[in-house]
Amino acid sequence: RVKNNLQIISSILGLQSQRVADAEARDLFRECQGRVRAMALVHDNLYETRNFAVVDVPELLRSLSSNVLRLFGADSRRIKLDLSVEPVVLEVEKAIPCALITSELLTNALKHAFPDERAGRIELALRQVRDTDVSLSVADDGVGIPAGVDPSASDSLGLDIVRTLTRQLRGELSVSRDGGTKVTITFPRVERIEQSAG
């Protein structure tokens, strides 16, 4: 039921966006649609695998990235997407924020990295770090974040969502501007349990 309800909401947002004349407002509807679709894909993954406790994250990210590119009408001849995803399984409570962060970062790259029909490449990577942590990164070779913008203090809703969800994951966020933009989130694969003294 959750999956179906989310898909209905996503469809409604899509229909509404087609009736909006203002380009900026239309983009806002698309971004909301992308967020809802990201959550729906997590539940889709659970339904397909019949495992309602954990999520196959590589499969989730493949579906999610394809959906975001389609949602924003990205030209595959102009913008190439590289996936580098290791086999990682996460509990639902971590998979949903992970999916939403991925959706936001891909959307940001598509909206800002390649202006004026510029061609480029986006890399989505997921890696196991040691035995305890997971690293998720989205990198592009686009124009980069303007020098005067501080990503850690930007009032962009997308980046604000990323920062909030990173805290929810008890993770760390880093941004690199070398030859484009790379955003990396590193977080514990499972909740760390504090050891009591004695």
Q: Which are the contacts of 24, defined by CB distance < 8 A and separation ≥ 6?
A: none
Res 179 pLDDT > 50: yes
Q: What mean pLDDT is reported for the chain?
A: 80
Q: Which helix (H) or strand (E) holds 109?
A: helix 92-112
Res 3 pLDDT > 60: no
Structure tokens belonging to residue 178: 């070398």
User: Distance (Å, rounded) from C-alpha 117 to C-alpha 78?
Assistant: 8
Q: Is 18 helix (H, G, I), strand (E, B) or coil?
A: coil
User: 102-129, pLDDT tens digit by residue?
Assistant: 988 998 898 888 988 889 999 999 999 9
User: 30-89, pLDDT tens digit by residue?
Assistant: 777 777 777 677 767 666 655 556 788 888 899 888 888 887 777 888 899 999 999 998
Would you state the pLDDT for residue 198? 38
Q: Is 115 helix (H, G, I), strand (E, B) or coil?
A: coil
Q: Which strands form 172-176's sheet, in the order they lie side by side?
A: 79-85, 120-129, 133-140, 181-188, 172-176
Confidence of residue 141 (pLDDT cuts 50, 70, 90): very high
The answer to whether the CB of 139 falls within 8 A of the CB of 98 is: no
Structure tokens belonging to residue 168: 């929810």
Enter the pTM of the model: 0.77
Q: Is 30 helix (H, G, I), strand (E, B) or coil?
A: helix
User: 91-100, pLDDT tens digit by residue?
Assistant: 888 888 898 8
Would you state the pLDDT for residue 131? 84
Would you state the pLDDT for residue 84? 94
Question: For residue 155, what is the DSSP state?
Answer: -
Nearest Cα to Cα of residue 27 among 181, 164, 187, 156: 156
